[in-house]
Structure 1
Amino acid sequence: MGSGTASNYFTIDNSVSTASGTNSAHLVDAGSPIGAKNSAIQISKAGSAQSWGSIWSKQQSFDLNQKETASMWIYASGNSGDTSVGDGMAFVLQNGGTNVYSGPGESMGVWGVQNSDFSKTNLADTAIKNSWALEFDTFPNTAIPTQPSYGIFDSAHQYPISQWTIGGSPTSFDVNGDGSSPSNQTAIEDTHIASNYPGENSTYSEAKVPYALGTNGYGPYYYYTMKHEGFLNEGPTSNSKLSDRNWHHITIQYTPPTTAGGDGAMTYTYNDKNPNTGLSEPSTDYATVPIDPAKFHLAAGQSAVRWGFTGSTGESTENNFVIFDQLPGQAQTEAKASLAAKSDPANPDEYINVGGNSTQTSSIPGGSEVKLTYTFGRTDGDEDWKSVNANLNIPSGLNITSGTITYPDASYKDSNDNKVDLSKMTTSSGGSAQNLPVALADGGLTMSGTQHATITLYGTAKNLATDQSGVLQPEQTSYFTGTNATSSAKTLEFTITPKINAKLAMDTFDDKGTLKVNYGSAQAARVVGIAMPADSTHVPMEDITIHPAINGVAQDPENLMDIYAAEMSPNFYYFGYDIANTKLRPGANTISFYATYGSGANEVTSTTVNRIVTAGTVGFGHTSGNMTFKPTILTGDGQSHMINRDGDWQLDVDDSLVKGSTWQVTAKTTGMFADGDNVAVKTPLDGSLVYTDAAGHDTVLNDEASQIIASGTSTDNDTTTDIAQDWKADTGIRLKINSNAVEGNYEGTIDWSAVNSVSPK
């Protein structure tokens, strides 16, 4: 509640016709009892006996046909050393003006008051008419009259009133039970919260002690009790939750009737916000009572009543303060805060949530880039949220370097160009937080509908000494305060850890793993490497990530623990990375690795190392351009003749297979045909190509089956073998001519194949 609230929303009548003296209610500076620098309404003052105070809304704005919410902080205490405080205060709804008051002491200015001579009185007539009140009673009136132990003999021997235990007040409000019989009544011993209709006869019960001596002679002694609806026991005076020098929050929620002529409902919940943070917390200290709109005797077409606070003191006194954070009939608001840290320096838009039970992280290293976001706005209500400004409390472990404001109207620009003025930031006492007041919209932002605004702050986490395990940053609550409502939001607690200084060493090995496989086989390659701290810093294996790439294509990162090289046990930090054969290309493949540790600004990256993995193959290298046979003159002798090759043929086989693999070269042909251009059908040679092995065995080559011409076994080294080098004049590929061969030039094609026939086990 801002300083202008009293003039904007409240009326404080300095004198009331039904009360003596001056209204003690006034506006005071409450400091920051709950984090928000607000003004408070003081209803009564410690040391001022027989005083009264009342403050009322200017308009009858509590609509009984609508849902309404009022929430406030209340405070009660006597002066230091006071052993007795009283009497309390009451939140009141009433259909009337501001010139109303009932009486001092236990009445709290709203309930009915009995005459001092204990005479018969209609208490409802002395109370505030057409009203409902919620009392915060700090002075239990526990007296119940009792008879003397020796009894009453006859009317001639009646005992004076002093011989009865009647207490000091004719009105014993704080009693439960049947008012017509003192023996059935129980005193309320503790401070309490309760409610009822002050101006209704049904609220009070009349009781009497017969034949007592009063100020007017002999006669009955009357006293009255009050029905306590929605009773909440708040403990004995010595340990009171009402007058304990602490701020307590209460929320009052009204629900209108659902049928014509029916009752509404009022729920009041005590201690539902934390006084240190201002944030909501669970409370079981609540009650719900029916509200009958007919009790307010509203005129036809009228549905709204006035609301306010009354209070009074008797011989006991106290300070009573109220700070509203939600005025009835005004704006309903909300606010939330979040902290995020940059997770990837290479990606400026990637942040992760920080704090509390976040599934992303509860700690960040020193130096991390951070973003604080505060979003606040209006959700409902009868009025705009008016003149809103922010008071931010920022964790002390953050260095804030800039900030921006996003207004509901994107076209709006304030005098500071929508930038947060960081020069206003101060360190709180004790150094646990940094306070930053933010003036919005050049004097206060007004929001209507469901408008929201956002304040975004940017900075870094402060660096810590490397010998610190981490510094906890407690939750911090910020406040968004308007003249008619206040909302709060907190950042969750988190830890700042030291910036990591470890360096990672990275290497792979040429004598471990499987660095050579046959291309196209089922065998996977395996690279064994190591990634470990390069200094004495301890880095858990599970915190190291390996980033592989195959021929320049990045692969999925692997946690070192997931690919730990078991064959290197018990040594630490070794990894084994398997590469499926299908990911390799024939020949040399470059497998690259680098390792990382930490994240965000604290990420450590090793150098990149490469290892060559060979996917072995067998194939043809250099071969003779044209393979010819010696020219031959047909003799016509009717015999077959074998024609040798014309010169040396060269047919190289390049072998890079795994040691122990075998390979074969095969050949087949469709034969030799007469060389003729533009001939539809070529004439075949009456003869054939023949392979003669070293033992002199001849095999005719055809196109039905491939003939093995050569074979070999792979070694550790890449080799080249000329399979034609050892052919002699009577071995190798030769041409056989039959007797019916016709003179001419003939040519043909040999299909050579080099295959990996057997892979090593």
Structure 2
Amino acid sequence: MKWNKKRSCLVLLSAVLCGMVVFLKPEENLKAEGNTVTTGLPQVKSVLSRNNVGMNNPPKHVKLDGIFTLPQNTNSRIVDNMVIVTDDWKDLEGAVWSTPSNMMDLTKDFQFEAALFLGSRVGNNGDGMTFAMHNDPLRLTSKRGIKGENLGVYGNGTSWQNYTNGALAKSFIVEFDSFYNQFASDRLASPVAHIAYAFPDKIDTYSTYGGLVTFKHNAEVQVVNLASSNMWKTLSVKWDVANQELTYKFGDLAAVVVSLDVQNTFGTNQVYWGFTGSTGDAYSPNRAVFTKVPGIVDSKSLATIRDKSGASVDGKTVEAREILTYDMSTTYLSGKQNWEEVNAVVTNNPYVDYLPGTLKVDGVSVDDTNFLANKVYSLGELSLASPNRHITFDVRTKELSADQQISEVMSFEGDNHIENLPAISYTIAERIVKDNIAIDTIEPFNTAQKITGTWQLEDLREMKDVQYQINDESWVTLPEADYGKNVDSTNKWNVPVSQAVIDALDINKQHTFKIKGVPVELAFEQTDVQATAKFAVKPQDITMIGDVTDKTTSIKGTGTPGLTIQLKNEQGDVIKEVEVDSKGNYALEPLTPISSGTKLTISQKTNFAESNKITITVAHDVIEPTLTLTDAGEKLKLINGATYDVKTVVSGSEADSFVLKYAINGVVNDSLTKVVANPTADQKHSTTTTIPAASLPIGVHTISVSVEWQTGGAKVTAPEIELTVVAGGMKFTQVSAATSFEQGTITNKTQTLARQDDWNIQIEDFRGKGSQTTLYAKLSTTFKNKDNRTIVNPLKYVNEQNQEVAMPVGSTVKVFQKETTENFANVDVSWQKNQGILFDLKPGNYQGEYQAEIEWLLSDTP
């Protein structure tokens, strides 16, 4: 038998204090509003080649070889002939300057034209950019401008004596300020993004307001959403040497004319020019491309459209089926470079038909194959030795059901200079000519089908025959059943095109379909009616391997060798394109991951047709969270009645909450489930979860832990922990340090004194269900008072059957027993008031306070 002993003090009328131990378990949105302020000055008309939306979609522009230099420490760069003044990031200061060989010569007239991109955000744009002219050579090398609201050109002094400190020396600038600094440089300006010109190194450019330095804004122009249009807009600049005037115009705003004292401003007639820009806490991308670079090429171009009488049709109305002559000419006047690789370009107007064979260059008919396809004709290089080009061609206006206004834009586009000519507008009057044959729109196709159309003959005249032709091959006569009788105002015809014919057509070329009908009775000056249409063979569908997720960096599949695969966004913009290799494989890579939910399409194309599109919705690829479990896969031993702490570390690439689940013997304990907030990806979270002892009876148990995303669903389970719970022992958890009996009065009779309420004995039994908790008591000393008088053997034990057992000094008596019915038990030792340990007060004892010591003993015998 093994004993667990505990001692306590017994008193009658006084208490003795004993000790105890405590165990502890381990951007303001600045939107410009108001009416545009114009200067009332003459307008300078310039046109972009097309509408251009997005910072990576500039208009047609020229190459910049040798034009600019990048100073030291600049954040600017030049990519694909695009000047990136500042990227879309904070705390940048950029500058790009002309090389010494490309300075502006202010002794001569010149003009240049650029397209600027000033951002796309509705708010928090900053700080903007400038067009600058200067005679500050240090800016080409070591000297750097001041960023933020100073835009890299203004000074940052604090008094009139040093306002110009750090300013661009000997300079004139036009600022495109996309952030209103209401408490700083712009507070005297209207509270909007604005355009203004200034002389940064002049003291009178600066003033004070409320004790703070502010910039004066000359010819300030209010511009709503200056930097949030997400569009490229034209900046044109013209220098008039005779009047010493510089005129600048931005987009559709009024032109601004500035008188420049060249010597006072620059001290020289040869000045550097370029752009500066800066960002602070607010930022936006600032970019520029050029159609005309000053001094590189000087040209003069004209365009007109004439009717058969030779009169211009600009602003007039013409008839349907009327033949018009388009006339455009250009002359190379001078320049630092010859005008390289010049193309004559005309808009593809859907309301007129180009008349094949009418294209002439310098009065000589030329091959118009390429011009038929895209309205572009190469003119080669223009120079002083060969300065002139003159292009003419004819079109026929179409029949229309309503008046249609036409706006034709023609241009001469070279590698180093682009001349966009003013638009010519005219109106085609409503008219439907009844004697005609027409072809319905032929969409690209690659399987056998019918080409269809209509024919009309006045007065219900009949067709003698109808013939068709593909690519100038032999004419084929249609059976009457395929075009029918003239029974309506519009009659239909159809031409079956077999698969064999389609398969023989070159997929990379545009093909011509012609149809003609010969009436039985000819109309006045009419022999037949004809129609011609272009069509293309549609590429076969491509395949795509796998799904596209927000983690995808490569899309692969198969297509037709040599064709171009294009990945486009929902707006039709090309994100990535690649050519199919000789084995029929393609790989669009590398791709920047695209947000889930984004709509994409992928297809293959020729110059004339596109295959059916594969529509893609980018899925969210949930990457499993990471779970580290202390003791994972271990086999551990645990004493019955003990708890077990499960320690985990979780992390993951999602900004989503984790759900930790704990399974005991394969069954998830919902009360232990935890949700761990994870607002930041890849953050590590340590957790400790206590498995209560009640869940771990004696025996072998498995503890498993899993973690999953609260919304994503991906789940990871760690290897199980095996816990073997073994029986433990017993121990006292509480024994009153001092206990007492009722106070008695000595008489001539024996009295039994009951216990007071200060008896508190608590026992923990960890031996498992069915164990016996057995308590013994031993009176260790004789009861004595302070006069050393004694009371001999006054204690007795009364059991549940009210049987008495004497408790003399030194004897051990069993005083309590109880069977454990749980895995472990907290046993409260108590007796009925008239049972348990009692005190017999006999006659003949002396009064006083007596005390003795009881020793408590636990038996761990089952």
| TM-score between the two structures when normalised by the length of structure 1 | 0.45
| TM-score between the two structures when normalised by the length of structure 2 | 0.40
